[in-house]
Structure 1
Amino acid sequence: MIINKKKVYRLCKEMGILKPQRQIKVKHPRRLARNRIVTGPNQLWETDIKYGYIAGEGRFFYVLSIIDVFDRSIIDYHAGLTCEARHAVYTLKSALWKRRLDKNATKPVIRTDNGPQFTSNLFAQTCKDLGVEHELIPYKTPNKNAHIESFHSILEEECLARYEFNSFREAYEVIHKFMDYYNNVRIHSKIGYLTPSGYYDAFQRNFVKALPICA
């Protein structure tokens, strides 16, 4: 017996034996990164995830860092054996608190790649609730996230590659010390051969002129 599929669908619908249709979740609209001229701190932040390996435990760990494009400071970071959307949300909230922007009407733009932590509904809704503009770089364009990519290269060359970690605790302690060293000791040629924290403080006190950055 040959029967048209449309008739089968109509008959099944009349008998109420159709399987419930999958509900499509409404996704937050995505904003693609655009070229910006950054003239001060807390205008544009970039974030990304770096992988490391623990030889003694045979597993990977993750470092999620948030950098201020203007002063190159690592405002906050997450280091853990997992890195999910909730960790990205917590780190963003903590970074806003550290810069005393959590109750400020003007928030920075946060730029990310298209990793699942950043394209999740949780991260998108949190940015919306906080009043933070979230923009994503186009696929296969890491140059749009150049500042955080550069920092993670430094993290790899000057920290992670120099150790063979036996435990996550050891890795965490090394990363914590390096973050402090990077922000407060290591000078940066792009910000007048000052440390990131030194440049940020000097700018806040009007001791240095802004060095506009195209990002």
Structure 2
Amino acid sequence: MSAATGRPYPVEMVCRWFGVARSTYYAWLKGGRRGGRKRGPKTPVNDEELVVQIREVIRSSPFHGEGYRKIRARLGLRVSGKRVLRLMRENGLLAPVRRVHAHGPRAHDGKIQSERPNRLWGTDATRFYTEEDGWCWFFGAIDHHVEDIVGWHVAKVGDRFAAAEPVRMGVRREFGTSGRDVARGLLLRHDHGPQYTSRNFRQEMAFYGIQLSPAFVGEPEGNGIIERFMRTLKEQCLYVHRFRDLEHAREVIGRFIELYNSAWILQRHGYRTPAQVRSDFLRKEVA
């Protein structure tokens, strides 16, 4: 500022006096005054605070071993996945990585999905152990779009009648009754187990109007949606509980399935739960 005139000195004169190019001055004027801070929205929490919140999400989540993407979704904060991954790695919060065993090239990647509910279901079975009743069976049926369990059943004997029970439950739940042709247009994906290839099972499915869709022989991933659920059921429930008997298992598994349908989050559906996916679809159908 000139003491004589009270006006600022010309930029050209000031730059020449200090030996600074005018382009340098204008660059400083445009961005340098911010002290070199990065552009974009400010981070809502620092790393230390974010680690505390990550630990709380892990502690309060009804599921264990969730990856950093799901933890980030449960945080509900505007933070990058890379940052969450870094902090979880640095603080020993990452779940152990599941080993993938190579079995040669697959004929199918298992991602058979439907664009709307109740067009394609998958069904499968697995065994679990109880202290008093020995080995028992779990049968489940899942919707390939919503990825919720529409029906399930536990039994001591894993025969064709037990295999049909989760489908019966799903038909009653989704179609309101179990009458003839009530589920016409629905496809049912299954493997080649004797329960599903039996005459009784095929006849009952035909009664409901359900068309059977067997997975490829030797390619269980062709029924990948239910296979993925079975893996989750084992890791989150069957492997972490000691079941006294079949009735105790039925109670625990029933609670888990309610929790899965209402709280498990699905990456392909924008980290929504199965219940939210079905509810959002029905809302759009009514609108």
Q: Are 2:121 and 1:45 aligned?
A: yes
Could you say what secondary structure the match of 2:175 adopts?
coil
CA 1:165 to 1:43, structure 2 compared with 1: closer, same or farther past 3 Å?
Answer: same
Q: Which amino acid in the other structure matches residue 173 of structure 1?
A: E
For 1:75, the equivalent position in structure 2 comes to: 150
Distance 1:36 1:167 in 2: 35
Distance 2:223 2:148 in 1: 15
Question: Residue deviations 1:81-100, cap 9 Å, x none?
Answer: 11211122233222111001
For 1:142, the equivalent position in structure 2 comes to: 220
Aligned match for 2:191, one of 113, 131, 135: 113
Distance 1:106 1:63 in 2: 26
Shift in Å, 1:61: 1.1
Q: How much identity, in percent, do the aligned residues show?
A: 28
TM-score (norm 2): 0.56
Q: Which amino acid in the other structure matches residue 131 of structure 1?
A: G
CA 1:53 to 1:144, structure 2 compared with 1: closer, same or farther past 3 Å?
Answer: same
Shift in Å, 1:57: 2.1
Question: Residue deviations 1:32-54, cap 9 Å, x none?
Answer: xx996621001110000011111
CA 1:177 to 1:84, structure 2 compared with 1: closer, same or farther past 3 Å?
Answer: same
Question: Residue deviations 1:52-77, cap 9 Å, x none?
Answer: 111x2261111100000100010010
Could you say what secondary structure the match of 1:38 adopts?
coil
For 2:134, the equivalent position in structure 1 comes to: 59
CA 1:42 to 1:171, structure 2 compared with 1: closer, same or farther past 3 Å?
Answer: same
Shift in Å, 1:158: 0.6
CA 1:124 to 1:185, structure 2 compared with 1: closer, same or farther past 3 Å?
Answer: same
Structure with a larger share of its residues in strand: 1
Larger Rg: 2
Q: Which amino acid in the other structure matches residue 159 of structure 2?
A: E
CA 1:123 to 1:203, structure 2 compared with 1: closer, same or farther past 3 Å?
Answer: same
Question: Residue deviations 1:89-136, cap 9 Å, x none?
Answer: 233222111001646464310011011110000011112222110011
Residues 165-204 of structure 1 aligned to structure 2 (within 5 Å): 165-204=243-282
CA 1:150 to 1:35, structure 2 compared with 1: closer, same or farther past 3 Å?
Answer: closer
CA 1:204 to 1:178, structure 2 compared with 1: closer, same or farther past 3 Å?
Answer: same
Q: Are 2:175 and 1:100 aligned?
A: yes
Q: Are 2:208 and 1:130 aligned?
A: yes
Structure with a larger share of its residues in helix: 2
| Unaligned runs of at least 5 residues, structure 1 | 1-33, 208-215
Q: Which amino acid in the other structure matches residue 45 of structure 1?
A: W
Aligned match for 2:231, one of 149, 153, 158: 153
| Unaligned runs of at least 5 residues, structure 2 | 1-109
Shift in Å, 1:164: 1.9
